[in-house]
Chains A and B, each alone.
Chain A
Amino acid sequence: MSILPQLLFIAVLSVAGVVLYKRVAFLRNTILLGKDTFRSDAPAERWKTMALVAFGQQKMFKRIVPAFLHLLIYVGFIVINIEVLEFIIDGLSGTHRIFAPFLGDGYTVAMNIFEWLAVAVLVSCIAFLIRRNITHVPRLTMPELKGWPALDANLILWIEIVLMVAILSMNATDQLLAERGVDGYLQLGGLVFSSMLSPLFDGFGDQTLVAIERFAWWFHIIGILGFAVYVTYSKHLHIFLAFPNTWYSNLKPKGEMQNMPEITNEVNAMLGVTASGTEESVTEIGRFGAKEVTDLSWINILNAFSCTECGRCTAECPANMTGKKLSPRKIMMDTRDRAEELSKGISAKGESFEDGKSLLGDYITKEEINACTSCNACVEACPVNIDPLDIIMQLRRYVAMEESGAPQQWNIMFQNIETSFSPWKFATTDRFNWANDLKGKPMNE
């Protein structure tokens, strides 16, 4: 047997490896454009969160139909990729179905499980295509998805369908060849789903069948490697990033906003208070709040790359559902797109790269962030614990403190708090007047 296929396989694997390595390095650099932040406390709870939310798909099940379809694709992805291991060993060593002799009947059982999952993935992908393109589920057809995001979503589904068809065709032709006793093919004794495809291929001669089988094999493995590279350019990154993203979840109560220790120091100085209680170290005083992705934390950017644009956040957002411009999903997409743009610029032109653009202003408008009620519905809805609210609040901080650009009515509210210690303009001396209606009155009247 010629070693040409082996050499070709090594070449394909190497190219994919190099490209993937470069993409992963780029994504890592892009995420690390964000500010350093510590979130590695309570590791036991973090592993548990990751196991439940990412591995266990816990939050997906708030919407049962897509959760079930997604689960099939997810399990299919994980399990069928075990077969990829065999593909790689076969490809490198020039063997065919190297695990079969070791596993005996177990191998046939495994192949049947893979085939069952392949069919399940196929059906789920078709269902998802219907939801996106025919029944038009509202959250999957919103304005922020126009163009590439919609195409990306459809491409992923089609690629998965094609890959599954390849694996089933490969098994069907493989078993036909084995039945005909062609050298190198093993009879596995009953592959339920692919045998249904046999009639399609039965009319071909051995040569053609070998060609189809080999083509399907190469198509599947190159397809998978290609898909792995494609994923790094796609919203589909969530298949990997969901795991670190949930590990780095915010474990504090959702209502708690992060303190700004650099301001605490100034306020303490202004009020003449010697800092007591928990003192946090202040690293550097940069900008107050966030205008650019580099003002955000790296976890915010990791969040953005983990987003698969499912839109559950936006579907639950009270501002969005009442027609305001805010869409939490768009906040995440904008953050990701800007981080990518900035990172590309920096890798091309160096650290000093400047394009005169910024996240706030060029991507996200004040009208969007001003509409947020900080209700945490988006945070609660996200199946991978992304926190759009944290970004919105950091942008608001920039607008209020660096630009003094908060809405006029908020500026009045600020003034009221400053002068009368209440968001409404009332005299502080009237604060206790409510008690006059009750104080000193008999209770049983």
Chain B
Amino acid sequence: MSNIYQIPTMAEKAAAGEQPEILFWVGCAGSFDDRYRAVTLAFVKILNKLNIAFAVLGEEEACTGDPARRAGNEFLFQMQAISNIQVLNGYAIKKIVTACPHCFNTLKNEYPALGGNYEVVHHSQFLQQLIDAGKIILKEGGAFKGKKITFHDSCFLGRANNVYEAPRKIIEALDMELVEMKRCRSKGLCCGAGGAQMFKEPEPGKKDINIERTEEALATGAKTIAVGCPFCLTMLSDGVKNKEKEHEVTVLDLAELLAADLEADDYTERGTP
């Protein structure tokens, strides 16, 4: 294997007659959002360093339809879903990994009714499996070791799909001190962006939801707020900026945390996996 980052597309793999082990579903935020693209890159770095046979859809990927469905536009959702399923089934996709809980939920739970049946895992679950299998070796005394961190449960990962442990296992592997917010796990408070709220201004009220949640996260005293969702990342980053804490407190995706400690490792010394 080369020591060059590779990001193959399904089209390229199919042309070479190869079937990669997993499809990495990047999602719209992962493709277009300036800040969140760093998460996509971090995850791709991990995949490369661990020599995992993956591919992406590249320009063939399209919105899963989640925001349209949750805003009530079932037609548009199904247009997206059925087109996507045609592409996915065309490549005989078996397993999909995605960093976006909204894509994860839709692909996993809502595509089967429309003829799309895949094994879908969230990147936190995927990374946890790699940690458990001993494939992710973190540098001793990594960048985050011993530091306080809090984890914000994404609704679409947590309550919607009962994934609570995987993100926490990653934090544990990083040897960080997890300080839970009062509202966590099944009682976790939404960041305010679900249900297509990401794409419109909130209704009139006395406070924005992301500010309420950011205050709770800041109250833990942790300097790192970990998330596993592009919308949560945006909402909490905005919240931290609103509180003028952006120079002290960072909001990071789980993949970024792991990639940082992997990068601290000298890849060449460990040799080619």
* Min C-beta distance of A361 to chain B, whole Å: 15
Partner of A371, one of B32, B65, B189, B203: B203
* Min C-beta distance of A36 to chain B, whole Å: 18
* Min C-beta distance of B260 to chain A, whole Å: 15
User: Given A380-B186, A441-B4: A319 and B70 within 8 A (CB)?
Assistant: no
Please encode chain B, from 175 to 188, with 1 for each CB lying within 8 Å of some chain A CB and 0 for all others. Answer: 00000000000110
Which residues from A are CB-within-8-Å of B62?
A: 421-422, 428
Q: Answer yes or no: B22 CB below 8 A from chain A CBs.
A: no
User: Given A324-B204, A443-B49: A271 and B74 within 8 A (CB)?
Assistant: no
Please encode chain B, from 24 to 41, with 1 for each CB lying within 8 Å of some chain A CB and 0 for all others. Answer: 001010111100010011
* Min C-beta distance of B69 to chain A, whole Å: 6
Closest B-chain residue to A261, C-beta based? Answer: B113
Which residues from A are CB-within-8-Å of B79?
A: 267, 270-271, 418
A253–B163 alpha-carbon span in the complex (Å): 11
A268–B81 alpha-carbon span in the complex (Å): 11
Q: Answer yes or no: A142 CB below 8 A from chain B CBs.
A: no
User: Given A373-B195, A426-B32: A260 and B74 within 8 A (CB)?
Assistant: yes
**A424 contacts B203, CB within 8 Å?**
no
**A393 contacts B80, CB within 8 Å?**
no
**A393 contacts B5, CB within 8 Å?**
no
Mark out the residues of chain B between 1 and 45 whose CB falls within 8 Å of any chain A CB in the assembled complex.
3-7, 9, 26, 28, 30-33, 37, 40-41, 44-45
**B69 contacts A434, CB within 8 Å?**
no
**A423 contacts B207, CB within 8 Å?**
no
Which residues from B are CB-within-8-Å of A442?
A: 3-5
* Min C-beta distance of A375 to chain B, whole Å: 4
A396–B73 alpha-carbon span in the complex (Å): 8
Which residues from A are CB-within-8-Å of B112?
A: 277-278
Which residues from A are CB-within-8-Å of B155?
A: 373-377
Mark out the residues of chain A between 196 and 230 whose CB falls within 8 Å of any chain B CB in the assembled complex.
none
Closest A-chain residue to B156, C-beta based? Answer: A255
Partner of A257, one of B69, B83, B117: B69
Number of interface residues of A (CB under 8 A): 81
Q: Answer yes or no: B221 CB below 8 A from chain A CBs.
A: no
**A393 contacts B72, CB within 8 Å?**
yes
**A443 contacts B82, CB within 8 Å?**
no
Which residues from A are CB-within-8-Å of B186?
A: 380
**A443 contacts B5, CB within 8 Å?**
yes
Q: Answer yes or no: B137 CB below 8 A from chain A CBs.
A: no
User: Given A377-B159, A439-B6: A417 and B63 within 8 A (CB)?
Assistant: yes
Q: Answer yes or no: A387 CB below 8 A from chain B CBs.
A: no
Which residues from B are CB-within-8-Å of A438?
A: 5, 7, 41, 44-45
A388–B200 alpha-carbon span in the complex (Å): 22
A400–B67 alpha-carbon span in the complex (Å): 12
**B205 contacts A374, CB within 8 Å?**
no
Closest A-chain residue to B44, C-beta based? Answer: A438
Partner of A444, one of B37, B61, B204, B266: B266
Which residues from B are CB-within-8-Å of A253?
A: 105, 108-109, 160-162
**A321 contacts B212, CB within 8 Å?**
yes
Which residues from B are CB-within-8-Å of A257?
A: 69-70, 110
Q: Answer yes or no: B174 CB below 8 A from chain A CBs.
A: no
**A267 contacts B82, CB within 8 Å?**
yes
Please encode chain A, from 299 to 330, with 1 for each CB lying within 8 Å of some chain B CB and 0 for all others. Answer: 00000000000000000101101111110000
Which residues from B are CB-within-8-Å of A418?
A: 76, 79
A293–B266 alpha-carbon span in the complex (Å): 63
Q: Answer yes or no: A82 CB below 8 A from chain B CBs.
A: no
**B193 contacts A373, CB within 8 Å?**
yes
A399–B267 alpha-carbon span in the complex (Å): 55
* Min C-beta distance of B4 to chain A, whole Å: 6
**B115 contacts A278, CB within 8 Å?**
yes
Partner of A324, one of B31, B32, B205: B205
Which residues from B are CB-within-8-Å of A183?
A: none
Closest A-chain residue to B106, C-beta based? Answer: A255
**A421 contacts B63, CB within 8 Å?**
yes
Partner of B114, one of A264, A379, A396, A414: A264
User: Which of B26, B65, B71, B207 lies at the interface centre, i.e. has the most chain A CB atoms within 10 A of its CB?
Assistant: B71
Q: Answer yes or no: B58 CB below 8 A from chain A CBs.
A: yes
**B59 contacts A429, CB within 8 Å?**
yes
**B206 contacts A323, CB within 8 Å?**
yes
**A406 contacts B78, CB within 8 Å?**
no
**B58 contacts A407, CB within 8 Å?**
no
Which residues from A are CB-within-8-Å of B130?
A: none
Closest A-chain residue to B45, C-beta based? Answer: A438
Q: Answer yes or no: A432 CB below 8 A from chain B CBs.
A: yes
**A434 contacts B212, CB within 8 Å?**
no
Which residues from B are CB-within-8-Å of A422?
A: 28, 31-32, 62-63
**A319 contacts B205, CB within 8 Å?**
yes
A275–B116 alpha-carbon span in the complex (Å): 12
A430–B58 alpha-carbon span in the complex (Å): 9
Which residues from A are CB-within-8-Å of B9?
A: 432
Q: Answer yes or no: B209 CB below 8 A from chain A CBs.
A: yes
Please encode chain A, from 265 to 305, with 1 for each CB lying within 8 Å of some chain B CB and 0 for all others. Answer: 01110110101111010000000110000000000000000
* Minimum-distance CB pairs A-B, first 9: A277-B115, A255-B160, A400-B72, A323-B206, A374-B195, A396-B72, A323-B205, A421-B62, A409-B200
A-B contact pairs, 5 of them (CB 8 A): A255-B159, A318-B190, A373-B193, A432-B58, A435-B56
